[in-house]
């Protein structure tokens, strides 16, 4: 049976190319909101961190009705670190809308998500977005996308994909770059015309693959997926099985069933094959499992999610200030929370270590893990993490490391310094193309560890005008040692409160990370030493008060404002012998060995 009343699509693109804004306009123009309703921008980005950073982290479902057809839409993340979300979501849909920025063109993540969509054999609609940008290159972008499709071995049918010219912010679409659109009707028409209706068996035994998981305090775990065959109804008995045989099949009962209607979920009694639905009542269900009819237990194959490339050690906080600010501070709390995260994040791995106080956490990139850290600290957890490391792999007897394809869009006068930095980090130049009158686009293949800590340098070298992004590009033999950091750390000499006089003397040594009134402890990192070696400074030193005064000696001390370190910046900064202490209120960097005398003994012993 062909269900002409239904279309299932995903919107895929590189980060910041306007997916969520376009979904906003699709919802508005399909009548999802009242005339006088006040709607926030990027209504699909519901998480606090998503709204603050302006990025999509979790894939989300919505639906609109157009000409009597229900269009299920999945808004996906654009950042490479969350590409595990995109990979599994593509299993739920029959076609994709590929969004490309009218000025930037195809970027690394565009290539990655498009490759995955082509592997599934999905139909593609190319939407060139932000056509109202002053630097838009409408005629060239279409050619660049077709070139990308050719590189990725697209079929003739996929090469013949329609191109729609959109402005997500204005809510307009047109089939020609020279004709201004009035609304999104051309895009809706292409979805009905070009994306195939689900071809399903509604009479057969029930079969559904769980592609996503949500959690609700009232009903527990909520599974989301598309019914591949048959129908589902409330109270139905099903068998839960796993294609890879990791879990033993078990029977369960569907307690509730919801269909996705616009921004909400509507309780329903029954749903047919082809529909994307949510269900609850099966506590242990996880992503990749199949719900079947007990008489016909057949597990559906689940896409193998790409392996993590970066690892970090999460450990219990043992600093002198441990337990002052956090609510959950023990290893039991940390272990439970990390293993709970595995239930909804398929591209994360958590392993026990030799000690009960530390856990190895592997993810897709620094950002993937820094979002996890931010979520934990907002929930009241207190812990420490080590510096990120690339995950090495043994392939054919050779040690191999993950490589990244990095694209940098930089001013022409910064090319020299970028090339120099990339060379020292074992990066290989793949292509170099002029973009406009005074900008260049450079493409490198570089070890993943070569990009750790590079973003700050990159922004300095390009005077804040450069744009860089990277995506995983397979494994290659180990490239040798890379010097991670050329600067040293300024370390607090004693425990106490930082005062203006001590900071004034310390700032001559290098940029500081703390201001007056900050509580510090011995071994805590308070600044950066440009000389490349660690140095202990006394930021708690007060001025000796005497009754002797010299003219001008009491002038006001001028303090340089401290550099505020975010979690990402701190992860980039710390080296292997340093840790990042995370609490709900503070982010502190520290040495693994806190005692200055113990550290000096170790370094002297090492030099001998």
393 marked as binding residue: no
Query: What are the residues whose beta carbons fall under 8 Å from the beta carbon of 325, sequence distance 6 or more?
Result: 382, 583, 584, 585, 586
Distance CA 11, CA 74 (A): 6
Residues in the chain, total: 608
213 is in an annotated binding site: no
182 marked as binding residue: no
132 is in an annotated binding site: yes
Total Cβ atoms within 10 A of residue 453:
20
CB 306 within 8 A of CB 364: yes
Establish whether 131 is an annotated binding residue.
Answer: yes
Q: What angle do CA 62, 67, 73 make, to 5 degrees?
A: 20
Residue 35: count other Cβ atoms within 10 Å of its Cβ: 5
**Which residue in this structure is represented by tokens 């009548």?**
31
The token pair at 77 is 């993340």
21 annotated as a binding-site residue: yes
- Please answer whether residues 129 and 136 qualify as being in contact, where contact means their C-beta atoms are separated by less than 8 angstroms: no
DSSP string, 18-68: SHHHHHHHHHHHTT-S-TT----SSTT--SHHHHHHT---S-EEEEEEETT
For the CA atoms of 373, 376, 382, 385, the dihedral, rounded to the nearest 10 degrees, stands at -20
SS3 state at 117: helix
Are 408 and 467 in contact by the 8 Å Cβ rule? The answer is yes
DSSP single-letter state for residue 211: E
Say if strands 349-352 and 389-390 run parallel, antiparallel, or are unpaired.
unpaired
Is 79 flagged in the annotation as binding? no
Helical pair 138-151 and 108-119, crossing angle rounded to 10 deg: 50
CA 221/CA 216 separation, integer angstroms:
6
| C-alpha closest to that of 252 among 215, 301, 293 | 293
**Of residues 514, 483, 476, the one with CA closest to residue 496:** 514
| 500 labelled ligand-binding | no
> What kind and span of H or E run contains 352?
strand 349-352
Please give, one letter per residue, the 3-state secondary structure of 266-297: EECCEEECCCEEEEECCCCCCCCEEEEECCEC
608 marked among binding-site residues: no
| Greatest CA separation for the chain | 98
The CB-side HSE value for 270 (13 A sphere, CA atoms) comes to 5
| Strand boundaries in 419-462, DSSP class E | 428-435, 439-447
**Known binder of ligand: residue 60?**
no
Binding site, annotated residues: 16-21, 129-132
Binding site, annotated residues for GTP: 16-21, 129-132
């Amino acid at each position: 049976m062909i269900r002409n009343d239904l279309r299932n699509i995903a919107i895929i693109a590189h980060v910041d190319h306007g997916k969520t804004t376009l979904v906003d306009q699709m919802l508005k123009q399909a009548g999802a909101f009242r005339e006088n309703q006040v709607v926030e921008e990027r209504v699909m980005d519901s998480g606090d961190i998503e709204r603050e950073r302006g990025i999509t982290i979790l894939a989300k479902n919505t639906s609109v009705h157009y000409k009597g057809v229900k269009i299920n839409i999945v808004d996906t993340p654009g950042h490479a670190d969350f590409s595990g979300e995109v990979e599994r979501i593509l299993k739920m849909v029959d076609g994709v809308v590929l969004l490309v920025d009218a000025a930037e063109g195809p970027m690394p993540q565009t290539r990655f998500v498009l490759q995955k969509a082509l592997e599934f054999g999905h139909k593609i609609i190319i939407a060139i977005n932000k056509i109202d940008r002053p630097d838009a290159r409408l005629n060239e972008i279409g050619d660049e996308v077709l070139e990308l499709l050719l590189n990725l071995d697209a079929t003739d049918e996929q090469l013949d994909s329609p191109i729609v010219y959109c402005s997500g912010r204005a809510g307009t679409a047109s089939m020609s770059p020279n004709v201004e659109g009035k609304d999104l009707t051309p895009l809706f028409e292409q979805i009905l015309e070009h994306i195939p209706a689900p071809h399903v068996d509604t009479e057969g035994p029930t079969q559904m693959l769980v592609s996503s998981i949500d959690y609700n305090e009232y009903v527990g775990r909520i599974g989301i997926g598309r019914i591949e065959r048959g129908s589902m109804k409330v109270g139905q008995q099903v068998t839960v099985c796993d294609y890879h045989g990791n879990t033993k099949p078990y029977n369960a009962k569907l307690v509730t069933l919801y269909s996705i209607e616009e921004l909400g979920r509507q309780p329903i009694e029954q749903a047919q094959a082809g529909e994307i639905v949510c269900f609850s009542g099966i506590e242990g269900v996880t992503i990749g499992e199949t719900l079947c009819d007990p008489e016909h237990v057949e597990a559906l194959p689940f896409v193998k999610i790409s392996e993590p490339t970066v690892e970090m050690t999460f450990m219990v906080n043992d600093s002198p200030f441990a337990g002052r600010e956090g609510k959950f501070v023990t290893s039991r709390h940390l272990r439970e929370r990390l293993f709970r995260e595995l239930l909804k994040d398929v591209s994360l791995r958590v392993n026990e270590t030799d000690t009960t106080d530390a856990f190895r956490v592997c993810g897709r990139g620094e950002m993937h893990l820094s979002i996890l850290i931010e979520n934990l600290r907002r929930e009241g957890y207190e812990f420490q993490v080590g510096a990120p490391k690339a995950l090495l792999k043994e392939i054919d007897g050779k040690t191999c490391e993950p490589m990244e394809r990095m694209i940098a869009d930089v001013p022409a006068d910064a090319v020299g310094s970028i090339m120099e930095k990339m060379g020292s980090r074992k990066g290989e130049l793949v292509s170099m193309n002029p973009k406009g009158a005074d900008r260049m686009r450079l493409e490198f293949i570089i070890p993943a560890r070569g990009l750790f800590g590079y973003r700050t340098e990159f922004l300095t070298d390009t005077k804040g005008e450069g744009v860089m992004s990277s995506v995983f590009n397979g494994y290659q033999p180990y490239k040798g040692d890379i010097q991670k950091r050329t600067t040293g750390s300024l370390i607090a000499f004693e425990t106490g409160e930082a005062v203006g006089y001590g900071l004034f003397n310390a700032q001559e040594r290098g940029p500081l990370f703390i201001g007056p009134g900050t509580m510090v402890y011995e071994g805590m990192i308070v600044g950066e030493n440009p000389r490349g070696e660690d140095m202990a400074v006394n930021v708690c030193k007060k001025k000796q008060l005497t009754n002797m005064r010299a003219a001008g000696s009491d002038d006001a001390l001028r303090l340089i404002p401290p550099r505020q370190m975010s979690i990402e910046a701190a992860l980039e900064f710390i080296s292997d012998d340093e840790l990042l202490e995370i609490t709900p209120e503070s982010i502190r960097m520290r040495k693994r060995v806190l005692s200055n005398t113990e550290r000096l003994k170790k370094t002297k012993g090492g030099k001998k």
